[in-house]
Amino acid sequence: MGKDRTGRAASGKGFSTRAIHAGEDRSRYADSITTPIVQTSTYVFKDSREVEAYTKRHKERFEYGRYGNPTELVAQRRLAALEGAEDGVLFASGMSAIVTTILALVKSGDHLVITDDAYKKTLEFCSQYLQRFGVRCSVVPFGDYRALDRAVGPRTRFIFSESPTNPYLNISDLRRLKDIARRHGVLTVIDSTFATPLNQRPLEWGVDLVVHSCTKYLGGHNDLLAGAVLGRKALIGEIRALHKAFGGVIDPHGCYLLLRGLKTFALRVERQNATALRVARFLEGHPRVRKVYYPGLESHPHHAIAREQMKGFGGVVSFDIRGDIRAAKRFMDSLRLCYLAPSLGGVETLITHPATVTYYNETRKERYALGITDSLFRLAVGVEDVEDIVGDLDQALRR
């Protein structure tokens, strides 16, 4: 879906309008204003002629729940409209979307390149499990585009990266990434979960496929697990075919929750963008904070890139406090508003301590080699009043 110079979609509708209405038929069952939940595992045919029309002439309709659902179809269309994609497919989780996409694009003997700042489980799958299928993986330092260029070989199928990354919120230069991929004739896949389609649309920068954990900002209420991949119709067709065999389908009620969340998506993310920037500036000036990582701050190493290719800087702020692991635990235990929880993107403010939550099974030396210090925190702001979030952080830091 193209865009004109005003930033509006080819449909002529603005972003928030698409987030509410895209993908829906005007008339719905029982005149419902919301998209109905079609809670069924299978679909019936009226007679043999309808069966023949479906199997021989490929008439579009639903047959079995693993192959599609009306509620799911609306959600897929809406996400594609927001991302500016030709097509998209939904999954039961973000990792299901990533794993299925990777396996759909490679065969034995192929090679892929991934940046080292990718999500931990994505790196784990690529570096540990793909070799079982005869697929090699090269992990290169994030932001080292010369190393990325050198890593691409004759059997490389695609480059996988994230932007922003977790937890340091590094920003990939999408133009340079695409130039490298185009020079070598390989595909590009970006996990854009932290950015969301409101803040960044990689397809407009030439990226081939965009992956989202819809569990985060797209659902937005901490009550849903879902994933999506979006891009050109031909590529999505390959992924959808494998998806039908793997069976990692999202249920109709999950699609309903996603559609519900998308209706307030722009309002929530705009609020979280503004709140996160204010919180980041507060933390940067706090005497008990050593370092703040937020692409909206001029101190962030990728601030210039973020300003060029992002509308907003997102709702996640990472920061390193002064002190040791005991100080970090005192800070965590003193919070009264922010919940200690590992996810992000919902209406509640969540904070996580990567050293004890995500990397608990690794030694301190191994963690520090990855940049995960004892005093590092990742804050995902919700939609509470910013003064209350700042106040809670301040009192906990002072304790």
**Catalytically active residues, by annotation:** 66, 119, 191, 216
List the structure tokens of 332: 């965590």
Q: Which has the closest alpha carbon to 295: 119, 104, 162?
A: 162
Tell which residue, 164, 218, 189, 184, has the closest CA to residue 101. Answer: 189
Q: Which two tokens stand for residue 222?
A: 């901490």
One-letter amino acid at 380 equals A
8 Å CB contact between 328 and 357:
no
Cis amide prior to 164 (ω within 30 degrees): yes
Evaluate the CA torsion angle 359, 360, 361, 363 in order and state its sign. positive
* Residue 48: partners with Cβ closer than 8 Å, 6 or more residues away: none
Return the closest-CA partner of residue 289 out of 340, 327, 344: 327
Length of the chain: 399
Q: For residue 350, what are the β-bridge partners?
A: 339, 380
d(CA 348, CA 332): 16
DSSP assignment of 258-284, as one string?
A: HHHHHHTHHHHHHHHHHHHHHHHHHHH
